[in-house]
Amino acid sequence: MNEQPAACRIHVEALAPAFQPQAEHWAQRLDLPLQGGDGEFALQVGEQGLQLQQLGPDAPGPVRVDFVEGGAAHRRLYGGGSGQMIAKAVGIAQGVRPRVLDATAGLGKDAFVLASLGCEMSLIERQPLIGALLEDGLARGAEDFDVAPIVARMRLLKGNSIEVMRNWQGEPPQVIYLDPMFPHREKTALVKKEMRLFRPLVGDDLDAPALLAAALALATHRVVVKRPRKAPCIEGPKPSHGLEGKSSRYDIYPKKALKA
């Protein structure tokens, strides 16, 4: 995703006086104004943590990262475990839990699923506002008895995904997972809500070929790219095969077999 937000007006606000110090903290960190007048987006701090709210009469509800309740909790408890397509795509099998880098972390949903299945996860989200939501969600997850062991396997990295991969320090990831923003239009309410927020901020991943090239250079065992089911492959080397679901597919670029 683009590193800098598109030209839109964003301010930080506390939803109650008790949260003013936290609002000031985030405003300073993200170099955003406090309590701006009319704007397009508000980064809000309240009882449920940090959330991004689009402003205006037809705006959808706020977006936040919540690993404790809602969809993340339901998928953790009832999502199908290692039989899920994403688990098969990254190579999870009996005795195999690869080290995975999610280089397009977004709200961390896929990374949380893989961490809940036992993978050690590194995450990169280069858009600062979304990275802040993710950081806040991880911090709140660490305070929950059931979720804390899962988020302990999730390490958030800062910076441009391509640069971080090109200058990787330490043991490289076995698998790199990519889910680049793609200029498509889906109809579901959830996607519509998040995309209405994200597209003005991040745009599309026009550097997806460079992202794929950096991932292929760094991963030791495979690269997995999530795409809309009917979308073309990312420009560059072709995947050896894919796993296809109802709305999305996983293009798989193998380098070496994952073994127990």
Whether the predicted pLDDT of 54 surpasses 60: yes
pLDDT at 187: 47
CB half-sphere exposure, 83, CA atoms < 13 A: 3
Query: What is each CA distance from 71 to 68, 78, 113, 178, in whole angstroms?
Result: 9, 10, 11, 21
pLDDT at 199: 62
3-state secondary structure the chain: CCCCCCCCCEEEEECCHHHHHHHHHHHHHHCCCECCCCCCEEEEEECCEEEEEECCCCCCCCECCCCCCHHHHHHHHHCCHHHCHHHHHHCCECCECCCEEECCCCCCHHHHHHHHCCCCEEEECCCHHHHHHHHHHHHHHCCCCCCHHHHCCEEEECCCHHHHHHCCCCCCCCEEEECCCCCCCCCCHHHHHHHHHHHHHHCCCCCHHHHHHHHHHHCCCEEEEEEECCCCCCCCCCCCEEEECCCEEEEEEECCCCCC
Q: How confident is the model at residue 189 (pLDDT cuts 50, 70, 90)?
A: very low
Q: How confident is the model at residue 174 (pLDDT cuts 50, 70, 90)?
A: very high
Residue 40 assigned ligand-binding role: no
What are the structure tokens assigned to 163, written together? 């640069």
What is the identity of the amino acid at 145?
F
Q: What is the mean pLDDT of residues 161-170?
A: 96
Q: How confident is the model at residue 4 (pLDDT cuts 50, 70, 90)?
A: very low
Residue 179 assigned ligand-binding role: yes
Residue 126 assigned ligand-binding role: yes
pLDDT at 102: 98
pLDDT at 193: 57
Q: How confident is the model at residue 3 (pLDDT cuts 50, 70, 90)?
A: very low
Q: What is the mean pLDDT of residues 4-27?
A: 85
Higher pLDDT, 168 or 190: 168
Higher pLDDT, 146 or 35: 146
Cβ–Cβ under 8 Å, residues 116 and 76: yes
Whether the predicted pLDDT of 2 surpasses 80: no
Q: What is the mean pLDDT of residues 136-157?
A: 96
Whether the predicted pLDDT of 104 surpasses 60: yes
Lowest average pLDDT, out of 33-42, 149-158, 237-246, 249-258, goes to 33-42
Whether the predicted pLDDT of 149 surpasses 70: yes
Q: What percent of the chain has pLDDT over 70?
A: 83
Lowest average pLDDT, out of 55-59, 69-73, 87-91, 162-166, goes to 69-73
Q: What is the dihedral sign for C-alpha 36, 37, 41, 46?
A: positive
Whether the predicted pLDDT of 204 surpasses 60: no
pLDDT at 29: 95
Give the highest mean pLDDT range of 35-44, 94-103, 197-206.
94-103
Averaged confidence pLDDT in the chain: 87
Whether the predicted pLDDT of 140 surpasses 70: yes
Q: What is the mean pLDDT of residues 195-224?
A: 82
